[in-house]
Amino acid sequence: MEGNSYLPQLARVVDIHEEVPGERAIKTFRLEFIDGDGFSHKCGQCAMLSIFGRGESMISIASSPLVHGYKQFSIMRAGRVTSAFHELAVGALVGIRGPFGNSFPVNDWHGKHLVFIGGGCGLAPIWPVIQTAVTKREDFGDITVFYGGRSPRDIMYRSELEKLRGAAEVYLSVDSPEDGWEEFCGFVPANLMEKEPSPEDAIAITCGPPAMIKFVIKNLHALGFQDEQIYTTVENKMKCGIGKCGRCNLGKDYVCTKGPVYSWADLKELPQEY
Amino acid sequence: MERILDKGRLGALVAALADWTVLAPALQDGLWAYRPVAGGEASLTLGHPNTVQPPKGQSFPQREVFFTFDETPDGQPRLTPLVPRPAPRVVFGVRPCDGQGLTHLDQVFGEEAPDAYYQARRGTLAYVGLACNSPPSRHCFCTCVGGSPFGEAGLDVLMIDLSDRYLVRALTPVGEALMTAGQGVLTEAGAQDRAEAQQRRLAALAHPQRAVAAPQAVPERLKAGFGSALWERLAQPCIGCGICTFLCPTCHCFDINDEVASQSPVCGSRVRTWDSCQFPDFTMHTSGHNPRPDLGARLRQRVSHKFQYYFENHGVFQCTGCGRCITACPVGIDIVTVVNQVAAEAAAMQPADS
Amino acid sequence: MIDPEELRTRARDLLEGGQVRAVIGYRRGTRGWAAEPVVITRSEEAQDLVWDPSCVHNLALYLVQDRRRRGVLRGPPDRPIGILAKGCDARAIVVLMQENYVQRDEVYIIGLSCESSGMLDERKLAGAAEGIDPQDLEAVDFEGDAFVLSSRHQQWRLPAAGVMAERCLECRNPCPKVHDTLLGKEPREQERRGQALTPAMSDPFAELQRFEQTADSVEARWDFWSRQFDRCIRCFACRSVCPMCYCEECMVDSISFVVTPDTTAQEKANRLRWIERSASRSDNIGYHLTRALHLAGRCIDCGECERVCPVRIPLRLLNTKMERESRERFGYEPGASVEVAALLSSFRDDDPNDFIR
């Protein structure tokens, strides 16, 4: 059926990487469309992933748009569909439809310093931007990445973060340290205040648990960042992805089409129903 | 094209529409509902107040199977899309408010990403409206939300009741086709018929209705009143059921689920069903966090969607004033009162000069 | 008949004296002549309270809502909440107390006796008498064994029995047995039955019997119920309006289960969806029969589920059937006494079945 937005394409799981163990486990899945190239996407967009018989879940696309041939998704085990993903083996076929939503205005940020602030699985939605910025390193000023988890075991993309060093300043943190942890101990917003990134010509991009985002924004303001310099992504329950099923809206905007990326200047004007 | 239909020949008109399945309001088990009618039914009349449910289910059924899934012999998923291919249908007796409602559904399911299932059903549907000489319900308020008892939006044909006959007016090419098919039953309309129809129209417009006050100011005032404590107070009697949304001609929210017939091999269907913003799980995240956690927030969503958000996006209200949500609410929550109270409070709190 | 002014005074005194933190009652709605439920917290709001034949709602539902809200606030009630209770409402409150959902000292019951009358059935009113258009009505009132209906220009006096809700005609106790204060009189048994008003009133299962006589075979009943359930639009109004449907998790609706920060992904993933959301015959039947069984020995026949159903499914027939079973087999009457153990949480030594002993 031509133009049927609800019909998923099939994609094969070609790689599974365990990022974080435990109750809130995170695994990264690499998916290849079985029919041609599938769709292209922009930084910050999402896709609806299916396991037939279980249902669908909206997940941000964690790979850079500059990468062709596959798409990556980092999925935390949380409910019916995501748990089923965690049971999958390489070779399984899943459904995928998208891409959905707007994107980070990366092209408007050329020449600017980028400050990324992520927590928990909130690194995944901003990871394509980090990858794009590092790949096109000369287009941007300084790149700084703050990222934290509960414990060292909860740090996702560990080896990829290490590879960023050199191209970017990387500041990791954990809430509860273990032996051998040599970086910051404490919450992400506190790490941010300690390193004091300058708001001069800078854009801050943050994603993580709602409580973290709240304090990050507060601290960014304290550091002199204006609302227009702060970007974040919103997640709400979604079913259709195309602005029809009616549940993800913040006021007049459906997050699945007008979001998930918002500047704080825009987001603070909308009903805070997320 | 305007013609005259003798009331007694309505059944004959239906019989003449051999290429269409005809649905008309019928009273069954105490309910007015659209049901298929056979041609030639002499008793066929359009004496209904309004149907309990609007005609939206014709293009947006409560249950729609998107596709079925099963497994290939080597255990891989296989999808079979189900495209609805309904035969041409014509729905008689649609009130203008419900015609207006169809234009909103067309908007929502058209827009940037057309809904293939809705479009497939809508493409073979025609709507024959029946003008309201007097309000069918005491809760009617179409005129203050951009509608009219003689409104033509969303309809292919409008019928106007002139006591012993109808003036039948084609509004679209589909409507012309219907009337051409029925030309053996229809007669020429004269100046007298047109004059009478115009009189009825003026009388209908003069009929008092309930009203949303200062409708043009409502979107701004609801926006200002977002944080009002009134939402919680007005929602106090709310029982949190889905009647108001399920009977609404414009509510279009839905859920998508996999219905599993067998686990091994996996086979089943992916199904869309109506959903309601009044249900607690509508917005609940997997984590249990709920952005609209209480009845007040959910009443605000229902009312603001119709009177603010949709207006901000499309410049019209997503409420057609049919009054069903008022009539059927188990505890008397009344959208006109809700809008008026919140808007009045917001207006009172605004500085006088703005 | 109860003077509404007496009711207002009682509520005002209770609020002013600080004996209750709120009063659940009825006030005039904006939708025509029908009253609507209200929770008042200030004594000056007592003047809004009304008592007339449109006070159909079972207010026990709002005790359930109050408890839910307190659950969110995590505060124990400092004072009882006042509630107006007809005979049926009071029976529902008793069941909530039997099941320990609310405690006796958390509630101050202002009993309202319907005496020899009952509530108006809006649907019966349509076409009940020549010349009355329910659309025009502005008010309804009790007057002995009649209802007085008023439009802006006219008044009608209608024998109440003709337009009274079926469940009122079959009422078990028009006067609440459990209360802290009572308005109106306990109708004497012979008075109630003696009045030609309600031949049905002597038989609490009259409508059920009529149904069983009409649909007297398994096939006829299957046809009947299939047709009824096919209409269901799964708006869940019957469940939402029922004071007995207070479960935090409902088996027909597994996605609305309680999720706390401690709920594991495994638990969420493994929730069974017993009944699909689709309004199909089998899922609708699954929903309604499950609900009926869960109400066995608990339903006190307030009839609210049937009243609110937008597609007129005669749900009372299911519930009174279960009620009659519990009465005939176990001599149990739901909502009769707080002291009696609930039917499904008790057993008798002489139970005919072994498994229960």
Residue B49, min C-alpha distance to chain C (Å): 11
Q: Do both A52 and A171 map to the same domain?
A: no
Mean pLDDT of chain B: 94
pLDDT (0 to 100) of residue B30: 87
Instruction: With respect to residue A259, please indicate whether it lies within any of the assigned structural domains.
Output: no
Residue C188: band (very low, low, confident or very high) from pLDDT cuts 50, 70, 90: low
Mean pLDDT of chain A: 95
Instruction: With respect to residue C270, please indicate whether it lies within any of the assigned structural domains.
Output: yes
Per the CB < 8 Å rule, is B281 touching C29? Answer: no
Per the CB < 8 Å rule, is A82 touching C271? Answer: no
8 A C-beta contact, residue B268 and residue B260: yes
Q: Do both A117 and A135 map to the same domain?
A: yes
User: Any chain A CB within 8 A of the CB of B184?
Assistant: no
B74 or A223: whose pLDDT is higher? A223
Q: Do both A152 and A170 map to the same domain?
A: yes
pLDDT (0 to 100) of residue C199: 42
Instruction: With respect to residue A238, please indicate whether it lies within any of the assigned structural domains.
Output: no
CATH number for position A221: 3.40.50.80
pLDDT (0 to 100) of residue C266: 87
b/e burial code for range A128-146 (CB count within 10 A of at least 16 → b): bbbbbbbeeeeebbebbbb
User: A25 to chain C: nearest residue by CA?
Assistant: C265
Q: Do both A182 and A64 map to the same domain?
A: no
First vs last C-alpha separation in chain A: 34
pLDDT (0 to 100) of residue C191: 54
Instruction: With respect to residue A258, please indicate whether it lies within any of the assigned structural domains.
Output: no
Cβ-based contacts of C271 with chain A (< 8 Å): 80
Of A69, A100, A131, which marks where a domain is finished?
A100
pLDDT, mean of residues A159-170: 94
| DSSP code of residue B350 | S
According to DSSP H, which parts of B265-306 are helical?
Answer: 295-304
CATH number for position A81: 2.40.30.10
Q: How many CB pairs under 8 A join A and C?
A: 19
Decide if pLDDT at A118 tops 80.
yes
CA atoms within 13 A on the CB side of A12: 10
Instruction: With respect to residue C350, please indicate whether it lies within any of the assigned structural domains.
Output: no
Per the CB < 8 Å rule, is B271 touching C123? Answer: no
Q: Do both A113 and A227 map to the same domain?
A: yes
Instruction: With respect to residue C357, please indicate whether it lies within any of the assigned structural domains.
Output: no
Per the CB < 8 Å rule, is A23 touching C264? Answer: yes
Query: How many whole angstroms separate alpha carbon B323 and alpha carbon C312?
Result: 18
Task: Report the neighbours of C using a cutoff of 3 or more CB pairs below 8 angstroms.
Answer: A, B
Instruction: With respect to residue C100, please indicate whether it lies within any of the assigned structural domains.
Output: yes
Instruction: With respect to residue A172, please indicate whether it lies within any of the assigned structural domains.
Output: yes
Q: Which residues of B, range 202-261, sit inside 8 Å of A by Cβ?
A: 223, 226, 252-258, 260
When CB atoms are compared, the residue of A23, A24, A79 closest to C269 is: A79
Cβ-based contacts of A80 with chain C (< 8 Å): 268-269, 271
pLDDT, mean of residues C291-310: 95
When CB atoms are compared, the residue of A3, A52, A252 closest to B77 is: A52
User: Any chain A CB within 8 A of the CB of B312?
Assistant: yes
Instruction: With respect to residue C241, please indicate whether it lies within any of the assigned structural domains.
Output: yes
Token pair listed for C195: 């009045």
Residue C200: band (very low, low, confident or very high) from pLDDT cuts 50, 70, 90: very low
Cβ-based contacts of B222 with chain A (< 8 Å): none
* Nearest of B50, B159, B153, B36 to residue B106 by alpha carbon: B153
pLDDT, mean of residues C225-250: 94
Q: Do both A208 and A225 map to the same domain?
A: yes
pLDDT, mean of residues A44-72: 96
Distances (CA, A) of A217 to A102, A120, A125, A127, C245: 21, 17, 17, 19, 43
Question: Residue C326 belongs to what domain range?
Answer: 4-345
pLDDT, mean of residues B260-282: 94
Decide if pLDDT at C131 tops 80.
no
* Nearest of A45, A185, A30, A198 to residue A127 by alpha carbon: A45
Residue B41: band (very low, low, confident or very high) from pLDDT cuts 50, 70, 90: low
pLDDT (0 to 100) of residue C260: 78
- In tens, the pLDDT along C241-273 reads 999 999 988 877 755 567 777 888 888 888 777
Residue B38: band (very low, low, confident or very high) from pLDDT cuts 50, 70, 90: confident
b/e burial code for range B31-56 (CB count within 10 A of at least 16 → b): ebbbeebeeebeebebebbbbbbbbb
Decide if pLDDT at C347 tops 90.
no
Query: Percentage of chain A surpassing pLDDT 70?
Result: 99
Q: Do both A225 and A124 map to the same domain?
A: yes
Query: How many whole angstroms separate alpha carbon B305 and alpha carbon B142?
Result: 17
pLDDT (0 to 100) of residue B354: 46
Task: Give every CB contact of residue B174 below 8 A, 6+ residues apart in sequence.
Answer: B126, B156
pLDDT (0 to 100) of residue A1: 45
Rounded to 5°, the CA angle C225-C229-C234 comes to 160
Decide if pLDDT at B344 tops 90.
yes
Instruction: With respect to residue A251, please indicate whether it lies within any of the assigned structural domains.
Output: no
Per the CB < 8 Å rule, is C310 touching B247? Answer: yes
- In tens, the pLDDT along B105-121 reads 999 999 778 999 999 99
Residue C296, min C-alpha distance to chain A (Å): 33
Q: Which residues of B, range 67-86, sit inside 8 Å of A by Cβ?
A: 67, 69, 76-77, 79, 81, 83
User: B261 to chain A: nearest residue by CA?
Assistant: A53
Between A120-129, A244-253, B300-309, C29-38, the lowest mean confidence (pLDDT) is in C29-38
- In tens, the pLDDT along A4-32 reads 999 999 999 999 999 999 988 999 999 99
When CB atoms are compared, the residue of B138, B247, B273 closest to C135 is: B138
Distances (CA, A) of B231 to B234, B335, C259: 5, 12, 26
Q: Do both A41 and A143 map to the same domain?
A: no
8 A C-beta contact, residue B323 and residue B208: no
| DSSP code of residue B86 | P
Q: To which H or E segment does residue B70 belong?
A: strand B63-71
Instruction: With respect to residue A242, please indicate whether it lies within any of the assigned structural domains.
Output: no
Decide if pLDDT at A247 tops 60.
yes
C351 or B11: whose pLDDT is higher? B11
Token pair listed for A209: 């648990």
8 A C-beta contact, residue B165 and residue B4: yes
Q: Do both A74 and A150 map to the same domain?
A: no
User: C262 to chain A: nearest residue by CA?
Assistant: A23
Of A100, A133, A158, which marks where a domain is finished?
A100
Q: Do both A224 and A115 map to the same domain?
A: yes
- In tens, the pLDDT along B42-81 reads 667 787 889 999 999 999 999 999 999 999 998 899 999 9
Q: Supply the pTM of this predicted model.
A: 0.94
For A148, phi then psi, to 5°, come to -145, 155
Residue C135: band (very low, low, confident or very high) from pLDDT cuts 50, 70, 90: confident
Q: Do both A44 and A147 map to the same domain?
A: no
Task: Report the neighbours of B using a cutoff of 3 or more CB pairs below 8 angstroms.
Answer: A, C
Decide if pLDDT at B157 tops 80.
yes
Report the number of distinct structural domains present in chain A. Answer: 2
Query: How many whole angstroms separate alpha carbon C165 and alpha carbon A28?
Result: 61
CA atoms within 13 A on the CB side of A76: 20
Instruction: With respect to residue A266, please indicate whether it lies within any of the assigned structural domains.
Output: no
Cβ-based contacts of C256 with chain B (< 8 Å): 279-281, 284
Burial tier of A3 (Cβ tally within 10 Å: 0-12, 13-18, 19+): exposed
- In tens, the pLDDT along B184-203 reads 999 999 999 999 999 999 99
b/e burial code for range A208-225 (CB count within 10 A of at least 16 → b): beeebbebbbebbeebeb
Task: Give every CB contact of residue C120 below 8 A, 6+ residues apart in sequence.
Answer: C53, C54, C56, C140, C147, C160, C163, C164, C165
User: A77 to chain B: nearest residue by CA?
Assistant: B286
Q: Do both A143 and A34 map to the same domain?
A: no
Query: For chain B, which residues lie within 8 Å of any Cβ of chain C, measuring from their own Cβ?
Result: 29-31, 52-53, 62-63, 137-139, 236-237, 239-243, 246-247, 255, 257, 259, 271, 273-276, 279-281, 284, 286-288, 326-334, 336-337
Cβ-based contacts of A59 with chain B (< 8 Å): none
When CB atoms are compared, the residue of C32, C38, C240 closest to B236 is: C38
| DSSP code of residue C187 | P
Query: How many whole angstroms separate alpha carbon B235 and alpha carbon C256?
Result: 20
Instruction: With respect to residue C62, please indicate whether it lies within any of the assigned structural domains.
Output: yes
When CB atoms are compared, the residue of B30, B274, B332 closest to C34 is: B332
pLDDT (0 to 100) of residue A91: 95
Question: Residue A168 belongs to what domain range?
Answer: 106-233
Instruction: With respect to residue C354, please indicate whether it lies within any of the assigned structural domains.
Output: no
Decide if pLDDT at C152 tops 50.
yes
Task: Count other C-beta atoms under 10 Å from residue C135's C-beta.
Answer: 14
Cβ-based contacts of C264 with chain A (< 8 Å): 23
Decide if pLDDT at C227 tops 50.
yes
Per the CB < 8 Å rule, is A82 touching B79? Answer: no
Per the CB < 8 Å rule, is B332 touching C259? Answer: no
Of A70, A100, A130, which marks where a domain is finished?
A100
Mean pLDDT of chain C: 88
ipTM for the predicted complex = 0.93
Instruction: With respect to residue A245, please indicate whether it lies within any of the assigned structural domains.
Output: no
Report the number of distinct structural domains present in chain C. Answer: 1
- In tens, the pLDDT along C269-285 reads 887 778 898 999 999 99
